[in-house]
Amino acid sequence: MRYIFNFPDIGEGLEEGTILEWYVKKGQEVKTGDNLVQMETDKVVADIPSPRDGTIVALFGEVGDIAIVGEPLVEIEIEGVHGEEAQKEAKKEVEDEFAPETEKGEDLDEEEAAGVVGTMETAGKSAVLAASDEGAEKEPEKEDKPTRKAVATPVARAMAKERDIDINEVKGTGPSGRVMKEDIENYKPSKKGAPKKKEREKGEDVTYEPLTQIRKAISKNMINSKHSAAHMSVFEEVEISELINIRSKYKDAFAQKDVKLTYLPFIVKAVVHALKHHRQVNSQMDLENDRMIFNNRYNIGIAVDTPQGLMVPVIKDADQLSIMEIAREISDLANKANSRKLIMDEMKGGTFTITNYGSIGGIFATPVINYPEAGILGVGRIVKKPVVKNDQVVPGSMLALSLSVDHRIVDGGEASRFINSVMKYLADPIALLME
């Protein structure tokens, strides 16, 4: 028999993924657990394994195509049923799921039958969901314009690609609206529609590139955060000459153990200590159940700038880690983020986030909360400034901090007290060891 393996949900809220690489081809034998395809989602790059032993009959999609969760990914022939009977079973399974309006017993010619069994083109791809939709504005559903799933024959699909025609814009005249080769030959693009791909690419003024899964996720999450949380920001500066001396003293010892000591591990430790005294900042609001959720764990998200876009891996239970362990964890997670090797568990469970834009450039900013968390701390560039110590003006090293909080959860006074606590630990790093 033939088994159609649908793209599974490999993460919370996942709706689609981009095909990066096929590991198999038509006619290839596979075993359960063999990797079939590499998919890029909004958070990770993951290999999808085969759920069955068998022979690959069809691949649904090419490199760069969007795959929708729950829709066909590959078709596998399982030993036991062959030939015409297997084709009928596969045809029925596809028709039942994607073309229920097809009349049973309808006679199809060879081109039409091949289109049902082997190839389908899908339009109306959904965007990636954010971590939470609470409070986000939602567009009303349009019942008169349902999402269209175009079904096409292999010949029609090949002709459409050759002529740079979006097959989902073509009205099919075949059974159940199936797009036939005659439809492609007779297709005339709407004047109101977008120009063909080649016509767009000929322009010298702009360059078109498709949105990546991670960029779509960043866009949706940022908008959701702004719509769902009442942002308030507090800006401060802290003199960290003592912290600089401590780092300089120990960085060579850390390097001998293949650990790079930056200022960020100290900041993580300072934030954790401050969160223990200000639990409101380590919480989130559950409006659906009219309650607050106070986190008893201290899982610190670290925003990492990667070539693909912003990613936020999480240091779990940072309160139980030493400075060296935090430094090693930061380095490992950053390397995984840049090489797209993070697993889903390393991206989940954050209770507070730190973004260190100062390592690249910038002093103050208004960081966007990683919703539904209650706060995010932005770390700016260290700047040399004159400061007053013991009534004397002396050179100082000032670290800029920008704290954004959800004002529904954290009042202005509590936000100020929290950032003051962080500043105290950074100005006097020994205090991190004394509590």
Residues labelled as active-site residues: 407
Question: What ranges make up the beta strands (E) of 84-230?
Answer: none
Nearest one of 316, 362, 359, 313 to 339, comparing CA atoms? 313
The one-character DSSP state at 379 is E
Q: C-alpha 158: how far from its chain's center?
A: 32
Question: What ranges make up the beta strands (E) of 53-103?
Answer: 54-59, 66-68, 72-77
Alpha carbon distance 233, 60 (integer Å): 47
Alpha carbon distance 240, 249 (integer Å): 14
Nearest one of 329, 334, 349 to 269, comparing CA atoms? 329
Q: Residue 401, SS3? A: strand
Q: Residue 146, SS3? A: coil
For 224-227, the CB contacts below 8 A with 24+ separation are 224/130, 224/131, 224/132, 224/133, 224/136, 224/371, 225/130, 225/368, 225/369, 225/370, 225/371, 226/368, 227/135, 227/136, 227/137
Which phi-psi region, left, alpha or beta, contains residue 416 (left: φ > 0; alpha: ψ -120 to 50)? alpha
> Considering just the CA atoms, what is the radius of gyration of the chain in Å?
28
Alpha carbon distance 214, 43 (integer Å): 6
Alpha carbon distance 15, 223 (integer Å): 18
Q: How many Cα neighbours within 13 Å face the side chain of 309?
A: 16
